[in-house]
A and B are shown apart, each in its own frame.
Chain A
Amino acid sequence: MLVPFLVLCMSFSFAQEKTISGNVTDQQGLPLPGVSIIVVGTSNGTQTDFDGNYSINASTGDVLRFSYVGQKTVERTVGASTSMNVIMEEDAQALEEVIVMGYATKSKADVTGSTVQLDSKQIEQIPVATVDQALQGKVAGLSITGDSGTPGSTTDIRIRGISSITAGNDPLYVIDGVPMNNPNISATTSGSSLSALASINSNNIESITVLKDASATAAYGARGANGVIVITTKSGKAGKTKFNFNSYYGFANDAIDGPTPLTGAEREMLFYEAVYNSFGETYGLNNVEEAGAFARANTSYGAAYQAWRDAGSPETNWADLITNKNAVLKEYNFSATGGDETSNFYASLGYFKQEATVIGSEFDRISGALNFTKDFSDKFTFSSNNTASYSNQDGLLENSAYFSSPRAVKYFMPSTDQAYNADGTINLDTSLPNPLWIAQEDIDDSKITRIITNNSLRWETPIKNLAFTTRANIDYIAYNYKRYRNPISGDGDGSNGYGWQASRNYTTYVFQNSLDYSFNLGEDHQFDVKVLQEWQKNRNYYLEADADNFSDVGLTNLNSAGNPTTANSTFTDWSVASYLGVVNYSAFNSKYVLNGTYRREGSSRFAKDNRWGNFWSIGAAWNMHKEGFMAGAEFINNLKLRASYGVTGNAAIALNSYQALLNFDSDYNGEGASYPGSFGNNDLSWETSNTLDLGIDFGLFQNRVSGSFAYYNRESKDLLLNVPLSLTTGFSSQTRNIGRMENKGFEVEVNFDIIRSEDFNLSIGGNVATNENEVLELAKDLNGEEINISTDIDRVESGHPVYAWYMPTWAGVNSDTGNEEWYINGVDGETTTNFNEAERVFQGGSALPKITSGMNIHVDVKGFFVDANGYYAGGHKVYEGWHRYTQGTDLYPTALYQGYNTLLDRWQQPGDEARFGKFEYTGRPWQRHSKFLYDGDYFRLKNLTIGYDFNSKFTDLLKIESLRVFVRGTNLLTWVKDDNLKYDPENIDLSGLSDGTNRGQTVLTTPPVKSVVLGVNLNF
């Protein structure tokens, strides 16, 4: 630092410094705001204001460098004049959008596959805990459903359908060029999930690119089959240090209310009806009133109603009580960026907090980032990207219908139970544990500290255009979980309190070495070559203990527990070694583009002889608009035909699956025990997907109309399939490479810039994607019979979509008898009241949408702007979970738990046409059938933002660069096609639990929220 300082002093002494001012415009004469101006060789820099004006101190002889995205950089030497106006020229090459592909960056013209890139403006200040939720509706063919709306929870992201039946379907994340794992880090399956992605502050993200086809994803070989999400964090920008402060504050509520529970009075009436229908004849009860009197006198459930009547029939709205109305959402983010000739930095500090819409749950995160780049010399550039965050998720019990889950209480606790005692204290004598007490006393806390440090050194070798880069990335996640159940009431009252704590160290190392080389064969043939070597290793240490019998109320650590019940620790690891080669050939200024990728990858998940897989792709693009014969068609700015084909892989199976193992996590008689744990398969290797992608990209009328059209066909084969074994083996399945599945469909994206002017802009855009999924082949047993995979509602069978709905078909309620009936053959004709007699048949479709669509509109007028985008998904069906209890026509909703008011549409007397059969004094078994299978189609207004950018007069006055205020509404409107689907259409567990439970079903977790926030974004 000393030398430039001295030089600067000398120039102060000898040169005559003056203020240069001027105006920067483009070739059309429109002012260019935000042009970066720097005095070459110094750290002295500025930017043009909103009207393109600037002023800077410089001396005669200094060189001013003007740079702006999409324009050719201009350098001017300061002369005698103090005024310097600059007209910048479009840089044809730079104007073309740059696509970040993870390992490489390409100009859009050179891209041969299907990619969608979102820039920071589309990501920042969206009020969600995990950034993946910002993608919905913006990427054709990408669908998201949330297992839970509890902030920080994991989501199910599917890109172009489902490629694997029993192996993982989650896309791969790549952050700053490094494959990164973002698993559910939570130790509990009953409590809230926690996505490692929740530790990433979306404000630090410069762009997200979604790679969908083989030519883009083959570079990630092995793990590219489910698509790749490439995240690039913000890097420093040279020039004067600039600051950004942004913040929002707002409120959230459940996006839709969900089913309405019966009132106590309705519940009572239905109970009496059940008594009347079941015992009316036997006991000579003439009507429902008499049945009520009889029941109150002779049954324990009736006696409970009598007690309720004696108390004056007080109603309790549990739905209200468990809801945290207007849950607070807020974020503060402060960042700075700057730099000089040889170094630059980006630094940020952020705080995010979101309360859940259910009582007793919230999420907050504090995060910091420092990205720093320094040129050590002409030849060596060092770059270091670092983020650290600490997140705290105060979760809840939610992934089933746990008695202590407040979300289960909403639908399961009788309205006749009282929340409070007469003296105002919490009533602990409720059918299910009182959620007010549980929220106050019990603990489900997850804490996660994540540090990612990505360091690279780039060396421009003496060989021209040959660069060597070496990179080391460490991703360190420390996770702590604490569960406590109070000894007074709830899950801990049987054992005088219960505590469980878990700790996990989840560390992933990545080392990369790569060579980049560019060369020309003549002026018109440009080659870019990359070879890369990568080593990735994950280590997962886990430690947990639980205990009960706490010595005192209010002491919640295991220290105070008298009876330790479990101590457990494990260590697992996995590693991936890869070699990658990429060649990009671009001829005649990218008129013709040809690229090839080859990756050889070895994974620790496979047997020694089958560890390595070869993955490759080829892609080609023809930028027709660059052809001479198109020169006449001036309205065409961009017309590209592209095609790619390649082989990608999937290795997302449980660790050590290939090994036949003895497990030792068992005990008997106070001693350790062992048992055969896994069947093993020494032939286990990669699952592969062959993907064909064809597309046309176009831009017409100065790109006022732009878009693309694509077709894809992905055939996955050698599926990593958990093939069911005869249970007589003692095992349920063996993971094998067998079976084939296909996903194909069309994707259309189009954008119209209807009005483009200085003061008024209007654009409309949208995308539509279709997906057709079909299982082509499965394993066969020794008789040649296909081995299917079934639950009581879905089935995997060739010729059908994966996990196609498969169950008896409901034939309605018999209007004479009031009995529910089903078709014996599953389709039509004769009906039966014996559920087990009804044939199970395919109901058409699965839980995966066949059509997804995103729509967006943008308007701005003199600084005011409106942005809206919506999302539609359709062609799929979802199944209502828990209907046995909440939609039964028996004692479950009327005497034991609670039902929905949909039950009021029930059969009462002969001739009634009703959706629900007659109520009876019984408890029916689980009978899952098509009555509770609903169309899943919905539309949701994901985002509506109205804002104002203050004009330069105001910002000049405040001596700031820009100021924006906005109001943003999320999920404000939802339309659901099927009236019977009362739950949130996105609150579906698409992947289900490991045994298939919940798959494709509505769940009792926290639903998605609708929120309104007021935000500000200040640059200075």
Chain B
Amino acid sequence: MSLMVVLAASCTTEDLDPALDQNKDANGGITDVDNLYAVIKGAYSRMTASGYYGRDLIITNEVRTDNCFSNGNSGRFTTQAGFAYSNTTGFFWDEAYAVISSANLVINTDLTGLEGDMDYGRHLQGEAYAIRALVHFDLLKQYGQIHVTGGTNPGGIPYVTSYLSNESSQEELFPPRNTVEEVRAKIFEDLDMAYDLMEDTGDTNFFSKYAAKALEARVAVYFEMWDRAVDAAEDVIDNGGYSIVPAENYVASFGSDGGSNIIFELEFNSTDNQGINGLAYIYRTTGGGSYGDVQVLDEVADIFEPTDVRGLLDGENGILGYEGDMLRNMGKYPDNQGYDNVALLRYEELILNYAEALMETGGDALTQLNKIPANRGASLYTEATKENILLERRKELMFEGFRYDDLLRTGSDIEKTSIQQNFAATIPYGDSRLAWAIPLAEMDANSNMVQNKGY
């Protein structure tokens, strides 16, 4: 009895401290450069989310084009493919800013207060700058108003550069939208920082020096800053040591991790993957067990020559293939369980960016452009026109989430080319549906936010 009394009598405020066995306090939780390494891995992990590069961003940019549609097998992506989304249709706004939050935590950490290798610390901060640039770029393309209003008010998206916590100011916690110009400038600033801080590690599962530069080339092409694109691409080509994967290895390269053509990819494996919410599960039914909503438009088979490894290639050896009478992406993200890495920066894309920038600046674009078909079992081009470059981009990067941006940045309509497409009629360039609505949850929480046109 006395034991009970003692136990009960000794309870104080300190006795009420809860256990903290799985977490660390955010304030003062980062004391070593290795802690920063853990946080930067957390940022990559967030990028692998199903709502972001794990599936949704890539798929949404395919089903709204002349590549793919949603057959609605499990009810997924018909809304996106039909341009029927609203401010309650979830997309990657929240996932994207969560990645930025992780990146900012690394960037905002004062290295001088940490234990460990300072050079490595700076490299990690460089990775964080590159991540921050990439994610804001993705947000700008989906939520910005460049292709709806021309980018005037509202134009860009909030560019968040500090880690926000319960100690942040009210102004920081309720950010307004930045202009497109501001966002663009900050992306380049961050990429410059990233390039300066990072080493060329050669580890393709993480951002490295030339990955930042390759991304800079992509951003420059998007904004039609051709000289900058040429410079950036040449830096990667001259110093990165990457090469185009040859035709005979092309299909296999998507089933294996890394490779000479990979500049940066997100890592997935047997213990860390999106499984049924991953890319493979939505691209194929795999004998009926998977969702398989995202089907390839029948006409797509015709854009490839029979010898092209990216097409049907005897009906079964290329990237394309059939499940029953349904044309499918069989070759990219082949593992049904989602164990395959997802490439974000491939050397082939850089070459095509380079070719396009050269074409726009009067350089020798044809040589660069033809490096791709030459390694795919396809005929060479005789002329490096914008049209040819976009066609080659479509073929080479199909199913990887590039087509939609390519159409918009070149001012194209989203054409109704097939009865299979989920939208009823051509969506003209400038239509408000080309940009996503700012999520209702954001509008509810932040009265400084201005909704996009048409929502």
A965 within 8 A of B: no
Residues of A within 8 A of B5 (CB): 470, 513
**Chain A 386-415 near chain B by CB (<8 Å), digits 1 or 0:** 000000000000000000000000000000
A923 lies within 8 A of B75 (CB)? yes
Name the CB-closest residue of A to B29: A662
Whole-angstrom distance between the alpha carbons of A923 and B25 in the complex? 47
A512 lies within 8 A of B1 (CB)? no
A947 within 8 A of B: no
- Give the interface segment out of B53-61, B166-174, B212-220, B243-251: B166-174
B13 lies within 8 A of A787 (CB)? no
CB distance from A434 to the nearest CB of B (A): 12
B121 within 8 A of A: no
**Chain A 607-625 near chain B by CB (<8 Å), digits 1 or 0:** 0100110000000000000
A495 within 8 A of B: yes
Which chain B residues have a beta carbon within 8 Å of chain A's beta carbons? 1, 4-5, 7-9, 11-27, 29-30, 35, 38-39, 41-46, 48, 70-73, 75, 78-79, 82, 84-86, 88-89, 93-94, 97-102, 104-105, 158, 160, 163-166, 168, 170-171, 173-175, 205-206, 267, 269-272, 286, 288-290, 324-326, 336-337, 422, 439-442, 444-449, 455
Residues of B within 8 A of A669 (CB): 41, 44, 205-206, 267
Residues of A within 8 A of B336 (CB): 494
Name the CB-closest residue of A to B11: A577
Asked whether A511 and B8 contact (CB < 8 A) given A790-B441, A923-B72, the answer is yes
Asked whether A726 and B165 contact (CB < 8 A) given A511-B8, A604-B18, A675-B102, the answer is no
Q: Name the one of B45, B84, B166 contacting A679, with C-beta atoms under 8 angstroms.
A: B166
Contacts A472-B4, A669-B267, A790-B88 aside, 10 further interface pairs with beta carbons under 8 A come to: A494-B337, A495-B337, A535-B11, A659-B20, A668-B48, A668-B272, A669-B206, A787-B444, A788-B444, A923-B75
Name the CB-closest residue of B to A606: B16
Name the CB-closest residue of A to B444: A788
Name the CB-closest residue of B to A602: B16
Task: Identify 20 residue pairs between A and B in the complex whose beta-carbon atoms are under 8 Å apart, listed by A's number.
Answer: A457-B1, A565-B270, A571-B22, A572-B22, A575-B18, A577-B16, A659-B23, A662-B23, A672-B41, A674-B41, A675-B42, A680-B26, A726-B174, A781-B445, A781-B446, A782-B174, A783-B174, A785-B447, A836-B84, A923-B82
**Residue from B35, B44, B99, B441 whose CB has the most chain A CB atoms within 10 Å:** B441
Name the CB-closest residue of B to A300: B325
B455 lies within 8 A of A836 (CB)? yes
Q: Name the one of B8, B158, B326, B444 contacting A533, with C-beta atoms under 8 angstroms.
A: B8
- Give the interface segment out of A73-81, A215-223, A727-735: A727-735
Q: Name the one of B11, B24, B455 contacting A661, with C-beta atoms under 8 angstroms.
A: B24
Residues of B within 8 A of A666 (CB): 41-42, 45-46
Residues of A within 8 A of B75 (CB): 884-885, 892, 923
CB distance from A570 to the nearest CB of B (A): 5
Whole-angstrom distance between the alpha carbons of A48 and B24 in the complex? 68
Q: Name the one of B89, B97, B205, B422 contacting A729, with C-beta atoms under 8 angstroms.
A: B97
A677 within 8 A of B: yes
A730 lies within 8 A of B29 (CB)? no
CB distance from A544 to the nearest CB of B (A): 13
Residues of chain A at interface, number, CB under 8 A:
92
Residues A657-699 near B (CB distance < 8 A):
659-677, 679-682
Whole-angstrom distance between the alpha carbons of A655 and B16 in the complex? 12
B175 lies within 8 A of A611 (CB)? no
Name the CB-closest residue of A to B433: A836
A727 lies within 8 A of B42 (CB)? no
Residues A487-525 near B (CB distance < 8 A):
493-495, 511-513
Whole-angstrom distance between the alpha carbons of A790 and B16 in the complex? 35
Q: Name the one of A602, A608, A730, A783 contacting B164, with C-beta atoms under 8 angstroms.
A: A730
CB distance from A495 to the nearest CB of B (A): 6
B1 lies within 8 A of A608 (CB)? no
**Residue from B11, B46, B270 whose CB has the most chain A CB atoms within 10 Å:** B11
Residues of A within 8 A of B78 (CB): 923-925
CB distance from A959 to the nearest CB of B (A): 45
A470 lies within 8 A of B4 (CB)? yes
A667 lies within 8 A of B45 (CB)? yes
Whole-angstrom distance between the alpha carbons of A304 and B16 in the complex? 64
Asked whether A896 and B72 contact (CB < 8 A) given A680-B166, A727-B441, the answer is yes
Q: Name the one of A662, A677, A726, A885 contacting B173, with C-beta atoms under 8 angstroms.
A: A726
CB distance from B20 to the nearest CB of A (A): 7
Residues of A within 8 A of B446 (CB): 726, 728, 781
A790 lies within 8 A of B8 (CB)? no
Q: Name the one of B43, B84, B445 contacting A925, with C-beta atoms under 8 angstroms.
A: B84
A608 lies within 8 A of B7 (CB)? no
A11 within 8 A of B: no
**Chain A 758-788 near chain B by CB (<8 Å), digits 1 or 0:** 0000000000000000000000011101011
B72 lies within 8 A of A663 (CB)? no
Residues of A within 8 A of B41 (CB): 666-669, 671-674
Name the CB-closest residue of A to B170: A782
Name the CB-closest residue of A to B206: A669
A664 lies within 8 A of B442 (CB)? no
A256 within 8 A of B: no
Q: Name the one of B21, B29, B73 contacting A572, with C-beta atoms under 8 angstroms.
A: B21
Q: Name the one of B72, B85, B100 contacting A892, with C-beta atoms under 8 angstroms.
A: B72
CB distance from B181 to the nearest CB of A (A): 19
Q: Which 8 A-B pairs have the closest CB atoms?
A: A730-B101, A923-B72, A675-B42, A673-B41, A925-B79, A785-B447, A724-B445, A792-B88
A682 lies within 8 A of B166 (CB)? yes
CB distance from B383 to the nearest CB of A (A): 38
CB distance from A892 to the nearest CB of B (A): 7
Name the CB-closest residue of B to A495: B337
A783 lies within 8 A of B448 (CB)? yes
A574 within 8 A of B: yes
A673 lies within 8 A of B445 (CB)? no
B93 lies within 8 A of A679 (CB)? no
CB distance from B124 to the nearest CB of A (A): 13
B44 lies within 8 A of A789 (CB)? no
Residues of B within 8 A of A665 (CB): 22
Q: Name the one of B23, B70, B290, B455 contacting A664, with C-beta atoms under 8 angstroms.
A: B23
B23 lies within 8 A of A656 (CB)? yes
B447 lies within 8 A of A783 (CB)? yes
B20 lies within 8 A of A656 (CB)? yes
Asked whether A511 and B439 contact (CB < 8 A) given A535-B11, A727-B97, A896-B73, the answer is no
Residues of B within 8 A of A727 (CB): 93-94, 97, 439, 441-442, 445
**Chain A 565-609 near chain B by CB (<8 Å), digits 1 or 0:** 110001111111100000000000000000000000011110010
Residues of B within 8 A of A574 (CB): 18
B105 lies within 8 A of A668 (CB)? no
CB distance from B231 to the nearest CB of A (A): 31
A922 within 8 A of B: yes
Q: Name the one of A571, A575, A679 contacting B15, with C-beta atoms under 8 angstroms.
A: A575
Q: Name the one of A495, A566, A732, A782 contacting B94, with C-beta atoms under 8 angstroms.
A: A732
B101 lies within 8 A of A676 (CB)? yes
B271 lies within 8 A of A662 (CB)? no
CB distance from B156 to the nearest CB of A (A): 12
Residues of A within 8 A of B22 (CB): 570-572, 663-665
Whole-angstrom distance between the alpha carbons of A892 and B73 in the complex? 8
Asked whether A922 and B422 contact (CB < 8 A) given A669-B44, A681-B166, the answer is yes
Asked whether A787 and B29 contact (CB < 8 A) given A669-B205, A926-B79, the answer is no
CB distance from B158 to the nearest CB of A (A): 5
A577 lies within 8 A of B46 (CB)? no
Q: Name the one of A668, A682, A728 contacting B175, with C-beta atoms under 8 angstroms.
A: A728
Residues of B within 8 A of A565 (CB): 270-271
Residues of A within 8 A of B271 (CB): 564-566, 667, 670
Q: Name the one of B25, B38, B165, B175 contacting A673, with C-beta atoms under 8 angstroms.
A: B38
B19 lies within 8 A of A573 (CB)? yes
CB distance from B447 to the nearest CB of A (A): 4
Residues of B within 8 A of A788 (CB): 444
**Residue from A663, A726, A732 whose CB has the most chain B CB atoms within 10 Å:** A726
